[in-house]
């Protein structure tokens, strides 16, 4: 299993970070889109979805998401 960190530009104005665990990149992109749809009451218009980083899941694995 691998952790994937994405950044999405939605609704032409907002940048959001998404972290998902998946077995492959295709599943990770699908999961990131699903998580965005679940988070917002109104389905956002995803302008861009960029994969920024991947890490194999092991003990003490994580990401720092800063702004």
- Parse the chain into domains and list their residue ranges: 2-56
In CATH terms, the fold of domain 2-56 is: Ubiquitin-like (UB roll) (3.10.20)
Task: With a cut of 80, say whether residue 66 has pLDDT above it.
Answer: no
Q: pLDDT confidence of 60, banded at 50, 70, 90?
A: confident
> CB within 8 A of 48, min separation 6: which ones?
8, 9
pLDDT digits (tens, 9 = 90+) for 7-55: 999 988 889 999 999 999 999 999 999 999 999 888 889 999 999 999 9
pLDDT digits (tens, 9 = 90+) for 31-43: 999 999 999 888 8
3-state secondary structure of 12: coil
| DSSP codes joined into one string, 16-67 | EEEEEEESSHHHHHHHHHHHHHHHSSSPP-EEEEEEEEEEE--TT-------
Q: Between residues 67 and 11, which one has the greater pLDDT?
A: 11
pLDDT at position 67 is: 66
């Amino acid at each position: 299993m691998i952790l994937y960190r994405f950044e999405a530009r939605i609704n032409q104005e907002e940048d959001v970070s998404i972290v998902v665990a998946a077995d492959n990149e295709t599943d990770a992109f699908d999961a990131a889109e699903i998580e965005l749809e679940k988070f917002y009451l109104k389905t956002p218009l995803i302008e861009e979805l960029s994969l920024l980083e991947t890490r194999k899941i092991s003990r003490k694995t994580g990401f720092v998401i800063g702004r």
